[in-house]
């Protein structure tokens, strides 16, 4: 499985979010769904890591939720929820890899990524 640092993961996630429709024609459904699962996993990891670094932040929580929901809208399975995705074995493996990557990233980089997440326009 391809893993990336948390910062790169978030940057790529934001890039995919903003350009998803431009690349949709060149990806298979399975490839597109896998990218979306990676994006959701990255967001969910940040949703658990960032409050430990920044403290509880309602704005951050709202943005993380909105970002996850916006990714899920692009899944091939329509009306996919986070709870449903959490039951997917491929997603579980992707999430575990993202969690392992987050452990390897230093706290300064994590803090930076968390700050970037707050700057995302809703």
What is the per-residue pLDDT across 75-107, written as a single tens digit (0 to 9) for each?
999 899 999 999 999 999 999 999 998 888 888
pLDDT on residue 6: 53
**pTM assigned to the model:** 0.78
pLDDT on residue 51: 92
pLDDT on residue 1: 38
pLDDT by 10-residue block (mean), the chain, 122 residues: 48 45 68 92 92 89 91 92 95 94 84 83 64
Angle made by CA atoms 62, 111, 38, in degrees to the nearest 5 = 60
Give 35's contacts (C-beta < 8 A, 6+ positions apart): 16, 27
- Residue 71 CB coordination number (10 Å): 25
- Distances in Å between the Cα of 86 and the Cα atoms of 64, 90, 101 are 16, 9, 19
Kindly state the tokens that stand for 15: 């890039």
**Cβ atoms of residues 35 and 16 within 8 Å:** yes
Comparing CA positions, the residue from 37, 52, 61 lying closest to residue 102 is: 52
Kindly state the tokens that stand for 85: 């995705």
Which helix H or strand E contains 69, and what residues bound it? helix 58-72
pLDDT on residue 3: 40
- Residue 18 CB coordination number (10 Å): 9
């Amino acid at each position: 499985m391809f893993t990336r640092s948390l910062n790169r993961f978030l940057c790529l996630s934001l890039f995919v979010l903003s350009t998803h429709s431009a690349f949709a024609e060149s990806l298979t459904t399975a490839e597109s769904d896998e990218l979306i699962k990676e994006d959701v996993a990255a967001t969910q990891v940040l949703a658990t890591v960032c409050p430990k670094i920044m403290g509880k932040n309602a704005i951050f929580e709202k943005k993380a939720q909105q970002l996850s929901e916006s990714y899920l809208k692009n899944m091939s399975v329509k009306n996919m929820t986070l709870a449903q995705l959490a039951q997917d074995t491929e997603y579980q493996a992707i999430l575990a890899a993202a969690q392992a990557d987050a452990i390897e990233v230093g706290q300064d980089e994590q803090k930076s990524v968390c700050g970037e997440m707050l700057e995302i326009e809703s």
